[in-house]
Amino acid sequence: MNVGSAAAASGAGWIGQTPHQQLQRGAKPLRPQDDPFHLPPDGYEHAEPGTVLRSRDVELAFLGLIPQSFTATQLLYRTTDLHGAPEATVTTLLVPADRTPQTPGPILSYQCAIDAVSDRCFPSYALRRGAKAVGALAQFELLLIAAALAEGWAVSVPDHEGLHGLWGAPAEPGYHVLDGLRAATSVPHLGLSPDSPLGLWGYSGGGLATAWAAETAGDYAPELNIVGAVLGSPVADLGHAFRRLNGSIYSGLPAMVVAALTHIYPDLDRVIQQHATDEGKAMLLDIEQQTTMRAVLRLIRKDMDNLVDRPLQEILDTPEVQRVFDAIKLGTAAPKPPVLIVQAVHDRIVAVADIDDLAQAYTAGGSEVTYHRDMFSEHMLLHPMSAPMTLRWLRDRFAGRPLGDHLVRTKWPTLLNPSTYRGMARLAVISAKVITGRRIERSPLSRFDR
């Protein structure tokens, strides 16, 4: 289907020219690759980044099965790829019921750990009622998105990998995040003010996307009032992560990155086509169709050294591969907004040394950095356990409270902080409401973490 016919089939075009698509209860969602809503209308390239091209209301559901009491608005908007060329992507926007233009409040962009090429993992699909996305991490992150909504914040959840699932692409996720915020604040009936304080939050692959947004915001979207960014265990050095995880129980994660990057870097694709075995090529094609957890489970202990015709280290040391690894590494620019970096010392996925280096690079570049270097937690546990602290930090940024020193390091484990458990108790209540589909009322989780 070409772009023009897709736009016509969708029944909606640009905001202001054609009607907004109203909620269709019980409608089965199409995967983004099959959904005309996701394809931009003719001429969108001439729109400014952040321009809303199309919108609709959708139903959300936990795990695709349990309908939520709140609805969401999805916006297709014009954005930019890593080369500066125009493209479009979607954000899913949740707005508190009591939000009006007369009561503007904070807006949070929450970046899910998509960590896959498959569009089943995109939040715009995985969060919807009826989505068949077993193994998509976004479905579980709805619990934390709901916690932010309970704070009274509007939440933008962008498909930061774009329509093609370019997991690992440099800079581009940041453009998608920032343009999602531009789009969210430009739709009058949503009651969101362009002057509202804006925050960013993501963990793991979502932390990587958040870091790119923080690094690119100063040049790409200087008008946005971003007051803080939380980088939860961002994958600061994907090349290092590839070497670290290959052959481990998490070997599916670097395999998915390679599968995505072959669509971005022709030289890398040539190396793969030249040196990968038939089994290796088939694996990379197959993994593009897998959700995150399915791929991880299927490729446990898979060693890519057995899927190439030369020693893997020789291939990794080639100039073509090294150029890619250098391009996708964080730390090329110091974020303008203050950042909170959250990292577990005993993380088996993201090396703490990489995050130490990133925090130092940001500080040397003049960023205001708060670095929570947790001594006890590991990768999976730290995200929910650090949520109360994260929400409190964001609340303070939205309130304009000062940070103090340029680099603040904390080592006291969240597991030993009594306020963590007060916040976790409230998070459990919010999660129970999501799991049972009950109404989520404004009751800030952050007030329990003092």
- What whole-number distance in Å separates Cα of residue 100 and Cα of residue 189? 9
Number of CB atoms found within 10 A of residue 71's CB = 16
pTM: 0.92
Q: How far apart are CA 118 and CA 28, in angstroms?
A: 18
Q: Exposed, middle or buried: residue 186 (CB in 10 Å: 0-12, 13-18, 19+)?
A: middle
Q: Does domain 238-327 have CATH number 3.30.530.20?
A: no
Contacts of 24 (CB under 8 A, 6+ apart): none
How many angstroms separate the CA atoms of 319 and 71, rounded? 49
Please report, for the chain, the start and end positions of each structural domain, with discontinuous segments joined by +: 3-237+329-448, 238-327
Distances (CA, A) of 399 to 99, 197, 198, 333, 393: 17, 9, 11, 26, 10
Q: Which CATH superfamily is domain 3-237+329-448 in?
A: Alpha/Beta hydrolase fold, catalytic domain (3.40.50.1820)
Q: Is there a shared CATH topology between the 3-237+329-448 domain and the 238-327 domain?
A: no
The answer to whether 132 and 102 have CB atoms below 8 angstroms apart is no
Query: Tens-digit pLDDT profile for the chain (450 aa)?
Result: 333 333 333 444 454 454 478 777 878 999 999 999 999 999 999 999 999 999 999 999 999 999 999 889 999 999 999 999 999 999 999 998 776 666 678 999 999 999 999 999 999 999 999 999 999 999 999 999 999 999 999 999 999 999 999 999 999 999 999 999 999 999 888 888 888 999 999 999 999 999 999 999 999 999 999 999 999 999 999 999 999 999 999 999 999 999 999 999 999 999 999 999 999 999 999 999 999 999 999 999 999 999 999 999 999 999 999 999 999 999 999 999 999 999 999 999 999 999 999 999 999 999 999 999 998 889 999 999 999 999 999 999 999 998 866 566 676 677 777 778 788 888 899 999 999 999 887 766 655 555
